[in-house]
Amino acid sequence: MLHPVKELTYAILLCDDLEAMKRFYCGLFPVEVLQVVESAIVLGLGSTQFVLRQRTRTYDGLGPRLGVPGVQLCFRVGPEEVEPCYQQLLAQGVAIAEPPTDQPRGHRTVYFFDPEGNLLEVYAEI
């Protein structure tokens, strides 16, 4: 066990089309662009840093595809905000995996895909 590890401070999402992913995430979420380097864009959302990084390394592998997502990212909202988020996703033409649904684990969720097929979730605790 890695006892010195105390928290997860940022997540990196590997991308094939960095600019398309930047447009998607910056156009959909209230993120702040913290840093732009040659092959990565660091976004801030709350206390989390979220990095979009171009697939450039041999071990980066192939990207996800619709039906075979590579990652699931979850974004929390208030219970009354799930439906308006869903309507905004529809208005922007985002591919929906599952419309707003009450889950047995006590969440109301809407699942959707980013341009590279990663599964995203907006959820509220209910």
The pLDDT tens digits for 80-118 are 999 999 999 999 999 999 999 999 999 999 999 999 989
The reported pLDDT for the residue numbered 45 is: 93
- The reply to whether 48 and 76 lie within a common domain is no
Domain that holds residue 87: 64-126
- The reply to whether 71 and 125 lie within a common domain is yes
Whether 65 shows a pLDDT value over 70: the answer reads no
- The reply to whether 45 and 75 lie within a common domain is no
- The reply to whether 48 and 100 lie within a common domain is no
- The reply to whether 68 and 33 lie within a common domain is no
The reported pLDDT for the residue numbered 66 is: 64
Q: Are strands 32-37 and 40-45 parallel, antiparallel or unpaired?
A: antiparallel
d(CA 126, CA 122) in angstroms, rounded, equals 13
DSSP string, 43-88: EEETTEEEEEEE--SGGG-PPPBTTB-S-EEEEE--GGGHHHHHHH
Say which residue, 1 or 63, is predicted with more confidence: 1
Any bridge partners for residue 76, and if so which? Answer: 123
- The reply to whether 49 and 68 lie within a common domain is no
Domain finish residue from 57, 75, 97: 57
The reported pLDDT for the residue numbered 63 is: 75
Q: Give per-residue pLDDT as tens, 3-59.
A: 888 888 889 999 999 999 999 999 999 999 999 999 999 999 999 999 999 999 988
Is the pTM higher than 0.85? The answer reads yes
- The reply to whether 76 and 47 lie within a common domain is no
Say which residue, 65 or 40, is predicted with more confidence: 40
Whether 67 shows a pLDDT value over 70: the answer reads no
- The reply to whether 81 and 50 lie within a common domain is no
- The reply to whether 21 and 44 lie within a common domain is yes
